[in-house]
Structure 1
Amino acid sequence: MTFGPSTGHRSAVSMNGPGQWIPAPGVTMKTSATADLAPSETAALVQAVSRAPSVHNSQPWQLRVRGADVDLVERADVVLPWHDPEGRDRLLSCGAALANLQLAAQALSREITTSFPADADMVATVHTRPGDPPTLANLARYHAIGRRRSYRREFAPEPVRAADLAEILDAADDPAVHAVTPPHGEALAEMLGFATRVFRADTAYQRELDAWTAHTFGPRALGAVDGVPEAALGDAPLPAAGLVRRTTPVPDDVRLAERLAAETLVVLCTGDDTRRAHLAAGVALQRMWLEATVHGLAGSVLTQPLHLTGFREDLADRLGLPGLPQAIFRCGNPVSVAPPSPRLPLGDLLCHDVPGGLE
């Protein structure tokens, strides 16, 4: 996701290629005849969660399997003090992981309910039991999990079809989250341009971003299991850049407004700023992103500017948004293939304090 360095995960290569574990359409995955999750089902859930987008591709989550219940646990040790000082993007990331977990459980013909424990590290518990096959819409989104990429490049000039955009907005499917196309492009351009200049000049922020860049080629290529792949960071200005680096061009506000007008942008807003709201925004964001992928579109997320003090409040006021903005989603028709992101070994995603983990 444009969205403390876990340097221990920088020494080994572990890449999951696109769709390696996603069953082909029409293939039925084996499910347990009992209420408890079978090892093969656990593996499918872990694999789905592993492909969720996250801030700087930090993958700040783990799963704990307890019979038929699956806990999503926030990894508080993943910290980004300059990009995400309050941990808001970390919770958005966990929300995206929760969306994948729910879809994977439904793809296993499991009926699900989700609860939100009060435990500080616990994000949610997905309770499952054998149920009906998934809906066609949910199955299509599940199959899109392995194809979704962060596309930090300019889109093709043809616009997103109105019918496709309507289905993407509907996919958010949460009354607590408002997904709106932002008006007043000039005001948005002015504010994003200001944020770009601030982050370009922030030396500490740039050091942190460099630490979370996965150098996958050239003399610094040591392999990675987390971080933003170097090949995914182009030289385009906002909004295509997604992440502002030292070399990111800064267009004038007029030119940036023209670029914004040529794109399809969706702002996800919530009525409050609680942990539950951040989590809900992450779930809605991932559902929309997967729906966009189903329609053959690419996407990326802007959250970086939203961490400037007072930026979200000012943006909500100037754009007349129905709440506080939590993320800006851009989508469009791709002109190239985005590279895959490195992923942690699947075994690292399971809490081992409960028997029954992956072998």
Structure 2
Amino acid sequence: MNTRTGEEIASVLRTAVRAATWAPSVHNTQPWSFVVEGDEIALRADSDRKLRVGDPAGREMLISCGAALTNVRLALRALGHEPRVRVLPDPDRPALLATVRPGAAVAADEDTRLLYAEIERRRTHRAGFTRLPVPERLVEALVAEASAEGAHLTPVRSEAAIRVLAAITCAAQDVQSQDRRLSLEMIRWARPPGSHRRDGVPAESYPRVPRRTRPHFAQRDYGQGHPWGNDADQFFSVSVGAVALLTTRGDSRQDWITAGRALQRVLLHASALGLSAAFHTQALEMFHLREFLRHELCSDEYPQMIMRLGITFDDGEGVRRPVAEVLEER
């Protein structure tokens, strides 16, 4: 039986929302907002932060919000409550993605405490990895974590398939770099050096002159011709690390949220195991390329994320908006 006071529950819910804000999101758009009313957290999509050119259907936005939902659930468990979650609870309110209530009292196990500690430590990597190999047992552990959330993480072990993914990523990046609307949209989320914004991609979070991985996986050009970035890439090799595809059987809004939940569970476990992740979504933003990948490399499942996993010594600062900007308390 839960004996916490209303004030204590309110504190727990605010802490869970803070944890949610540390989820990964496309271009660090942080496309979410939260309402706390009574003992319930409502997670809503913030359509003002959707990429209207790169993500018109909102797939990447909902994946981002699904990752935030994983953090809410994890935080509640870490703070002693079993989360009671309803996904897409009201078809008449499409922006309402989930509601979460603290349920029965539970004692946080070691795994929960470990992952909760990684929420603010996890970082997105935007370069090559060191030559240190990723142990197969760690990759298989991440496969199991994705499966537990209803998605599939498939390691890409064929060198030919890795070359195909690299080539299609480079092709998509080249095409998108010629699209003025996409470039302008990216500029909105690229933070110049010294910026005090708490969203978007900081100039310090990617290499100034990136080294080409072998095979080469193109990165987003957040600098857009400016000499922005850091010099950390010189310490990394051209290793791509371990390549993996995150897929779902369906491609509905619920599937996108599921993909986000699975993605964050994988990323937190990877971080706890000493692994970093780099994402490549360019090809997934182009219908024909995504369909090609679905049929040729994903056994007709829907690709939701292309990622590389590896070992880095990247400990850059994370950037997130304060809770007061995303939370409404009633």
Partner of 1:121: 95
Counterpart-to-counterpart distance in 2, 1:311 and 1:159: 30
1:269 shift after superposition: 0.7
Show structure 1 runs of 4+ deviating over 3 A.
Answer: 34-37, 173-176, 237-242, 244-248, 259-262
1:272 counterpart = 2:250: yes
Query: In the alignment, which of 158, 168, 172 is matched to residue 191 of structure 1?
Result: 168
1:34 shift after superposition: 4.5
1:340 shift after superposition: 2.3
1:68 shift after superposition: 2.4
| Cα 1:216/1:260, change in 2 over 3 Å | closer
Query: In the alignment, which of 343, 347, 355 is matched to residue 320 of structure 2?
Result: 343
1:55 counterpart = 2:26: yes
1:36 shift after superposition: 7.7
| Cα 1:35/1:277, change in 2 over 3 Å | farther
Q: Is the 8 A contact 1:95 1:281 kept in 2?
A: yes
C-alpha RMSD over aligned residues: 2.4
Partner of 2:199: 226
Matches within 5 A, 1:106-185: 106-116=77-87, 117-118=89-90, 119-174=93-148, 176-182=150-156, 183=158, 184-185=161-162
Partner of 1:211: 188
Could you list the per-position Cα deviations for residues 72-106 of structure 1 after superposition, in whole angstroms to 9, with x for gaps in the alignment?
A: 11112212122212111100000010000000000
Partner of 2:49: 78
Question: Secondary structure of 2:328's match?
Answer: coil
Amino acid at match of 1:207: L
| Cα 1:347/1:175, change in 2 over 3 Å | closer
Percent identity over the alignment is 30
Q: Is the 8 A contact 1:213 1:228 kept in 2?
A: yes
Counterpart-to-counterpart distance in 2, 1:175 and 1:269: 12
Counterpart-to-counterpart distance in 1, 2:312 and 2:13: 33
1:189 shift after superposition: 2.7
Could you list the per-position Cα deviations for residues 262-282 of structure 1 after superposition, in whole angstroms to 9, with x for gaps in the alignment?
A: 421221111111100000000
| Cα 1:46/1:32, change in 2 over 3 Å | farther
Query: In the alignment, which of 266, 290, 299 is matched to residue 277 of structure 2?
Result: 299
Amino acid at match of 1:225: R
With normalisation by structure 1, the TM-score equals 0.79
Structure with more relative contact order (C-alpha pairs < 8 Å, separation 6 or more): 1
Could you list the per-position Cα deviations for residues 280-333 of structure 1 after superposition, in whole angstroms to 9, with x for gaps in the alignment?
A: 000100000000000111112222221112111101222143501011122110
1:71 shift after superposition: 1.2
Question: Secondary structure of 1:310's match?
Answer: helix
Question: Secondary structure of 1:226's match?
Answer: coil
Q: Is the 8 A contact 2:150 2:262 kept in 1?
A: no
| Cα 1:131/1:215, change in 2 over 3 Å | same
Amino acid at match of 2:325: D
Structure 1 spans left out of the alignment, 5+ residues: 1-30, 249-258, 355-359
Counterpart-to-counterpart distance in 2, 1:195 and 1:292: 27
May I ask how many residue pairs the two structures share in their alignment? 308
Counterpart-to-counterpart distance in 2, 1:103 and 1:136: 12
Question: Secondary structure of 1:77's match?
Answer: helix
| Cα 1:207/1:284, change in 2 over 3 Å | same
Q: Is the 8 A contact 1:265 1:328 kept in 2?
A: yes
Question: Secondary structure of 1:329's match?
Answer: strand
Q: Is the 8 A contact 2:167 2:217 kept in 1?
A: no
Counterpart-to-counterpart distance in 2, 1:311 and 1:62: 31
Structure 2 spans left out of the alignment, 5+ residues: 227-236
**139-148 or 314-323, which moves further after superposition?**
314-323
Q: Is the 8 A contact 1:70 1:125 kept in 2?
A: yes
With normalisation by structure 2, the TM-score equals 0.86
Amino acid at match of 2:138: D
Question: Secondary structure of 1:351's match?
Answer: strand
**107-116 or 339-348, which moves further after superposition?**
339-348
